[in-house]
Structure 1
Amino acid sequence: MLPIQTDIPKARGAWPVIQHAIAFRRDPIGFFRKQAREMGPVYYFQLFQRKIIVANDPEAVQTILIGEVQHFSRKKTYVFLKALLGEGLITSEGDHWRKNRRMLQPGFKREQLAGLMEGVQSTVVDWCQTLGAGDRNARSVDLHQAMNALTLKVLTRSIIETGWSGELEAFQGHLATAWNHLTDQRFQSTEPGGQKSGLAFWNRAKIHRTSEGKKAIGRLKEIIAEIIIKRRASHHEANDLLAMLLSAKDPDSDMGLSDAEILDEVMTIVIAGHDTTASALTWTFHCLAQHPGWAEQIRAEAQSLPRGAWSTTDVAQLQVTKRVIQEAMRLFPPVWTFGRKTTASLELCGFQIPADCSVTMPLVGVHRHADHWERPDHFHPNHFLPESMQQRHKMAYFPFGAGQRMCIGSHYAMMEMQTIVARILRTFSVVMPPVRKLRILPQVTLQPGQPMPCVFEPLEQS
């Protein structure tokens, strides 16, 4: 056994005092990609006085998410989401998280998704029909805005099929305002000592958005709470996620979720399932526009399925579509880094990591690590052929996380995205102008940093 090292390597390019602050804040994606090529499995970078340890290797990621998961906390990483998500699965820990995860898990098994996929199918088909009925101006849209709108329609119908009482449009508007507010909270500047920026004009410019954001969060919760109360009182049988939450039982106590717990989980599903899926779809169509041969393969695959509704078995046959989406999420992972805090001293790939350290796992680096990918910086969906995946470390790719905290809705999300991509390409050719220089905006999820104009051109239907 090799001796444990205490001197963790420092990322290259540090300056006196500010350390890596300028390079990281200017381009965090480029920073992590560069360090992935130059550094070993574990290193640290420094923002003024703050040190952050980086897991730059699948083995290190596996230790954090699976092998030594009990020694890592998510609490401080996701504290900015607490105002909206309360004690949902993303933000909670300990016994509360274990109980609710155990209660919700059965509802997200593949065999339980058939009813939800019916809603996904009909929503996407309606969207395609409405778009196809418009003129070319109506079909000329910003891709990211279009995917945001579509995924929100799909998600809100999947969560709450009926009972909106005219509140759906208001809910969608409040959600956008609340999300902008939370993004501000997540990425506000810090002074060298870690305090909020003292730039008064910058803070004053945020006051209105902060006030509106807090109001929007309150209104979102009011809308959902009212729907929960009405649904529970009516005993209405619906085929949606709210029905699953209302019927969930703790196998030990046979107790169900309280209305407050259901509210937190509904908001968690909205946040976890909307922005991430819209990001993944945006980057998928961006990649397909540059590689039209793959779009043709997806179209042929979709056309081999029935003209009417698709079953979950049908969707499972969309393997080319799945590989394309997986590859887009490899190159442009919606959640581009996962953060943790050590709760005890431990060994990580031969290095001794102290307790109370910030640790990050940058998917944007690991997903392009040359040691694990045949063509790390190129769009190559055959990375996800079964024979290729068998030869690769299982943690070289982790867009949904891994281990006990892996995204509970990963199967649903993949089937949803396969359905959306295949249905759209069966109906339209998605035309986008060449992007001269791609700008990426690393917010809570990976966003395009510029408009992404596209045209949905209807295909001749045989």
Structure 2
Amino acid sequence: MTAGTTAGTGNTGRAGTEIPVLEGLPLLGSLLDLKGDSLGTYLRARRRHGDVVRISAGPPGLRADLYCLFSAEGAQQVLAARAAGFRKDNAFYQEVRESFGNGLLTSQDEDYLRQRRLVQPLFTRKRVDGYAGAVAAETASTLAAWEEARDGIVDVGAEMTHLALRAVARILFGTDVDATVDVVDRCFPVITEYVLRRGYSPANVPRGWPTPGNRRAAAAMDELYGVCDGIIAGRRRPGGTEPAAGGAAEGEDLLTLLAAAGGADGSGFDAAELRDQVLIFLLAGHETTATSLAFALHLLARHPEEQARAREEVSRVLGSRTPVAADLDRLPYLTQVLKEAMRLYPAAPVIGRKAVAATEVGGHLIPAGADVILAPWVTHRDPRHWPDPDRFDPARFTPEAEAARPRYAWFPFGGGPRACIGQHFSMLESVIVLAMVLRAYTFEAVDTEVPVDAGITLRTTGPARCRIRRVRP
């Protein structure tokens, strides 16, 4: 949910086609439902009313109207075909922008185009493939630590979050991993909760007021910004810190490459802009991949036949060698497992936009200024494209099956001109990690159900523990 009132007129629709409204309480609408279980609320709205639904939330005078578009066709119009007409102008993105900076995730217009031009060369397939060694090294460290797992049980949610954070920090910073990871571990949860609380609230006090919440968040941001600024200053000095061996493609960490990036006019990022990019890469680059990895492992732990098949493919293709980037195309079943996990548990379960002008979508008129919600969580469960949608079935992602579906029936990386720039890196990292982990251990689910909710990204609200056993040669 995004906060704030919506310009436009309630049930406005094309002549004769009112947009259906999800039933709610007289005074608060669906506010409590969205706060208590937003993902379940969106699913219920789709089941009851179809592909286009309006959800009203909040007290009179502060009420927000959310225009939810649940079909693959609706997602394609908003993200691709008519992307210019739907902006990241809602209250939630503003909270993320003020906390984590105006990087690629949150910037718009000329800022975004300039940033994308500068960053794009750093995310070519060839460049990203050079990060495989750093991912493999961090995975090996995690596997070694699991030898000491108490009672042979690990929480794959927590473990994959730590692993993904260390991997992205190593690729970003090279030798400056440990201090950065400690600060991110300590500060990110404080800042994230602050963003969520303000983003879901119909009204907020100014950030500068000395409330306990504002002060806690400000202290966490100061500490996080400080460590990033210190590393950036070191990189920009002649003879600054050398990147770690294997930390990034062609022997350079990503921060060094960002600091050196320049446009045709000789422009580049200043120190504040570099920090914004770093913070967004830390946020988007570890939480999303960690979610995909954790649920892929947990789903395999609950489905031993699929786990055995994935392990057989890994053993046959890799033997005992360390995986490299070229193995991504040699492990098709493991990739299908990952994609199916991302269908059931998309790291970005809800995507918000603001309509620039009145736009027809799905036979209904979305008013100018409307808060628009796309929900991969719902679209990925549309029975028109996903029979028995709650069932885990990697065969949904054979090349033939993928070709038979609409492009936006599955969009865990968004789409259109603002599709995630790091999607190849995420897939590469995830396949390497899964291959190494499955070759080393078998998994059996201890927690058979893992509750989740929608934060900035999808997050678990309980443990995702698995019992692990060493695979013997």
Normalised TM-score (structure 2): 0.87
Whole-angstrom distance in 1 between the partners of 2:292 and 2:165: 14
Q: Following TM superposition, by how much is the alpha carbon of 1:112 offset from its aligned partner in structure 2, in angstroms?
A: 1.9
Q: Aligned partner of 1:181: which letter?
A: V
Q: Does 1:348 align with 2:386?
A: no
> CA distance change for structure 1 residues 231 and 341 in 2, over 3 Å: closer, same or farther?
farther
CA contact 1:55–1:361 (8 Å) conserved in 2: yes
Segment drifting more, 361-370 vs 78-87 = 78-87
Q: Following TM superposition, by how much is the alpha carbon of 1:210 offset from its aligned partner in structure 2, in angstroms?
A: 2.6
Whole-angstrom distance in 2 between the partners of 1:85 and 1:191: 17
Q: Aligned partner of 1:65: which letter?
A: L
Q: Does 1:28 align with 2:38?
A: yes
Q: Following TM superposition, by how much is the alpha carbon of 1:139 offset from its aligned partner in structure 2, in angstroms?
A: 4.6
- 5 Å-filtered alignment, 1:252-271, equals 252-271=264-283
> CA distance change for structure 1 residues 196 and 29 in 2, over 3 Å: closer, same or farther?
same
Secondary structure, counterpart of 1:441 in structure 2: strand
Which of 164, 170, 173 is matched with 2:179 structurally?
170
Whole-angstrom distance in 2 between the partners of 1:231 and 1:11: 60
Q: Following TM superposition, by how much is the alpha carbon of 1:315 offset from its aligned partner in structure 2, in angstroms?
A: 2.6
* Identity within the alignment, %: 25
CA contact 1:8–1:44 (8 Å) conserved in 2: no
- 5 Å-filtered alignment, 1:52-451, equals 52-76=66-90, 77-132=92-147, 134=148, 136-137=149-150, 139-162=152-175, 164=176, 168-188=177-197, 194-196=202-204, 206=213, 209-230=216-237, 233=240, 238-250=251-263, 252-304=264-316, 305-435=318-448, 438-451=450-463
Consecutive unaligned residues in structure 1, runs of 5 or more = 198-202
Whole-angstrom distance in 2 between the partners of 1:195 and 1:260: 29
Post-superposition CA distance 1:374-410 (Å, at most 9, x none): 2211111111111111111110111110011000000
Whole-angstrom distance in 1 between the partners of 2:326 and 2:468: 28
CA contact 1:5–1:350 (8 Å) conserved in 2: no
Post-superposition CA distance 1:402-461 (Å, at most 9, x none): 0110000000100100111111000011232252x542232222222212222332111x
Q: Aligned partner of 1:171: which letter?
A: T
Post-superposition CA distance 1:225-278 (Å, at most 9, x none): 23432477578773322233234332x424333333222212211111111111
Q: Aligned partner of 1:219: which letter?
A: G
Q: Aligned partner of 1:146: which letter?
A: E
Secondary structure, counterpart of 1:196 in structure 2: coil
Secondary structure, counterpart of 1:421 in structure 2: helix
Whole-angstrom distance in 2 between the partners of 1:7 and 1:115: 53
Whole-angstrom distance in 1 between the partners of 2:242 and 2:195: 39
Segment drifting more, 325-334 vs 16-25 = 16-25
Whole-angstrom distance in 2 between the partners of 1:212 and 1:297: 48
Consecutive unaligned residues in structure 2, runs of 5 or more = 1-12, 244-249
Q: Following TM superposition, by how much is the alpha carbon of 1:191 offset from its aligned partner in structure 2, in angstroms?
A: 9.9
- Tell me which residue corresponds to 1:200: none
Segment drifting more, 379-388 vs 112-121 = 112-121
Whole-angstrom distance in 1 between the partners of 2:370 and 2:164: 36
Q: Following TM superposition, by how much is the alpha carbon of 1:117 offset from its aligned partner in structure 2, in angstroms?
A: 1.0
Secondary structure, counterpart of 2:130 in structure 1: helix
**Number of equivalent positions:** 446
Whole-angstrom distance in 1 between the partners of 2:312 and 2:347: 27
Whole-angstrom distance in 1 between the partners of 2:386 and 2:204: 39
Secondary structure, counterpart of 1:188 in structure 2: helix
CA contact 1:53–1:360 (8 Å) conserved in 2: yes
CA contact 2:38–2:453 (8 Å) conserved in 1: no
CA contact 1:299–1:425 (8 Å) conserved in 2: yes
CA contact 1:121–1:310 (8 Å) conserved in 2: yes
> CA distance change for structure 1 residues 385 and 397 in 2, over 3 Å: closer, same or farther?
same
Segment drifting more, 104-113 vs 422-431 = 104-113
Whole-angstrom distance in 2 between the partners of 1:231 and 1:386: 49
Q: Aligned partner of 2:228: which letter?
A: K
Q: Following TM superposition, by how much is the alpha carbon of 1:213 offset from its aligned partner in structure 2, in angstroms?
A: 2.2
CA contact 1:151–1:277 (8 Å) conserved in 2: yes
Secondary structure, counterpart of 1:54 in structure 2: strand
CA contact 2:174–2:242 (8 Å) conserved in 1: no
The RMSD of aligned alpha carbons is 2.6
Secondary structure, counterpart of 2:131 in structure 1: helix
> CA distance change for structure 1 residues 138 and 125 in 2, over 3 Å: closer, same or farther?
farther
Segment drifting more, 234-243 vs 383-392 = 234-243
Normalised TM-score (structure 1): 0.89
Q: Following TM superposition, by how much is the alpha carbon of 1:205 offset from its aligned partner in structure 2, in angstroms?
A: 6.4
Segment drifting more, 334-343 vs 254-263 = 254-263
